[in-house]
Amino acid sequence: MAARRTTKKPNISAEELLGYYRDMLLIRRFEEKAGQLYGMGLIGGFCHLYIGQEAVVVGLEAAAKEGDKRVTSYRDHGHMLACGMDPNGVMAELTGREGGYSKGKGGSMHMFSKEKHFYGGHGIVGAQVPIGAGLAFADKYLGNDNVTFAYFGDGAANQGQVYETYNMAMLWDLPVVFVIENNKYAMGTSVQRATKSPSLWERGAAYGIPGEEVDGMDVLAVKAAGEKAVAHCRAGKGPYILEVMTYRYRGHSMSDPAKYRTRDEVQKMRDERDAIEHVRDLLLQGKHATEDDLKAIDKDIKAVVNDAAEFSKESPEPALEELWTDIYADTVPQTA
């Protein structure tokens, strides 16, 4: 299998690099727009932005193939855009409109796409982890070589069900990549204030699950680690853990007083470690693109995001009848 590729830095083409730049930029601009719409009162409730963490999903999607599945928590907009879901449908769900992925009935935290193998969007911290292992269980049961990416944060990493899942995933050799997106803060509690474990991925050792720490601000490093993890799973060796070190620039949700970290800390990450700037530098320094090329991409992305915002405002609210639909699937075959 592809295991021999693991230690090598991926040999990347200009085209691929431009693709990552575009995908990450789409997430960032989309999230900035979502923040803006929230401020205008068009998006309600909780809204958790992914700004700063873009390289994690874009790098891992680069390691996925058609048929692979993904499931994550409530900070899910980036995951949906990265796996190819329609920005219009995502934004319209944020505004609670008929054109949203869940017809406006799910909201920011609860979206799904069977077509793109995106299984949510889960609002209960840690609940998506056994669900991810269950998706992998189904693939193994059905005898295909699909892999599931089960994303969760450093906060969820302290939930008991994560370890129940580690145990069974390893016991049954399930093809699941556990992706710990360590953005250093579980809401307002820093990792250091939540655990004395020096690292989160190493906890997998108690169950025999291999893993590693990954620089989540470097999309190429994430992709390389993702390929290694996926190859491990596809080879039938069971689960793999990636602890991706990342950083969330914005608050936990829109209503975050931001008193648990300094402004300087955030600014330093943005100035020195920004994942999009990193790719931008690689593109320019490697002469893969000119400033004008990148400006053109910026312009395209802005248009996509503005269109999504427009769609999300113009799409009507769900019909009142929708209150009473989708509670039960109603076809019960009388013969198996």
Partner 1 sequence: MATEILMPALSPTMEEGTLAKWLVKEGDTVSAGDVIAEIETDKATMEFEAVDEGTMGKILVAEGTEGVKVNTPIAVLVDEGESADDIASGDTAAQALEAAAPAADAAAKAAPAGGSAKAAPPATASAEPKPDTSPDWPEGTEMRTQTVRESLRDAMAEEMRANDRVFVMGEEVAEYQGAYKITQGLLDEFGARRVVDTPITEHGFAGIGVGAAFGGLRPIVEFMTFNFAMQAIDQILNSAAKTLYMSGGQMGCPIVFRGPNGAAARVGAQHSQCYAAWYSQIPGLKVAMPYSAADAKGLLKSAIRDPNPVIFLENEILYGRSFEVPVLDDFTVPFGKAKIWREGSDVTIVSFGIGMTYALEAAGKLAEDGIEAEVIDLRTLRPMDTDAILASVRKTNRLVTVEEGFPQGSVGNYITSVVMEHAFDYLDAPVINLTGKDVPMPYAANLEKLALVTTDEVIDAVRRVTYR
Minimum CB distance to partner 1, residue 99 (Å):
11
147 and 175 Cβ atoms separated by less than 8 Å = yes
Q: CA 137 to CA 120: how far, in whole Å?
A: 17
User: Which one-letter DSSP state was computed for residue 319?
Assistant: P
Smaller CB separation from partner 1, 112 or 201? 112
Q: Amino acid identity of 322?
A: E
Question: 245 is written with which tokens?
Answer: 């070190």
Smaller CB separation from partner 1, 41 or 198? 41
Minimum CB distance to partner 1, residue 41 (Å):
5
Q: CA 228 to CA 184: how far, in whole Å?
A: 24
Provide the b/e sequence for 293-323 (b: ≥16 CB within 10 Å): ebeebeeebeebbeebbebbeebeebeeeee
Place of tokens 């999504």: 308
Nearest to 129 by CA among 114, 149, 143: 149
Smaller CB separation from partner 1, 12 or 305? 305
Minimum CB distance to partner 1, residue 319 (Å):
6
Question: 70 is written with which tokens?
Answer: 């993904």
Smaller CB separation from partner 1, 300 or 322? 322
Q: CA 236 to CA 222: how far, in whole Å?
A: 22
Smaller CB separation from partner 1, 129 or 294? 129
Smaller CB separation from partner 1, 2 or 206? 206
Q: CA 102 to CA 194: how far, in whole Å?
A: 34
Minimum CB distance to partner 1, residue 222 (Å):
22
Smaller CB separation from partner 1, 38 or 223? 38
CA distances from residue 196 to 179, 190, 200 in whole angstroms, order as listed: 20, 11, 10
Minimum CB distance to partner 1, residue 313 (Å):
4
Contact residues for 290 (Cβ-Cβ < 8 A; gap 6+):
284
Minimum CB distance to partner 1, residue 164 (Å):
3
What are the DSSP E strand ranges found in 200-335?
211-215, 240-245
Minimum CB distance to partner 1, residue 16 (Å):
26
Smaller CB separation from partner 1, 132 or 153? 132
Q: CA 233 to CA 67: how far, in whole Å?
A: 14
Smaller CB separation from partner 1, 10 or 35? 35
* Residue 191 DSSP SS3: helix
Minimum CB distance to partner 1, residue 202 (Å):
20
Minimum CB distance to partner 1, residue 17 (Å):
23
Contact residues for 45 (Cβ-Cβ < 8 A; gap 6+):
107, 108
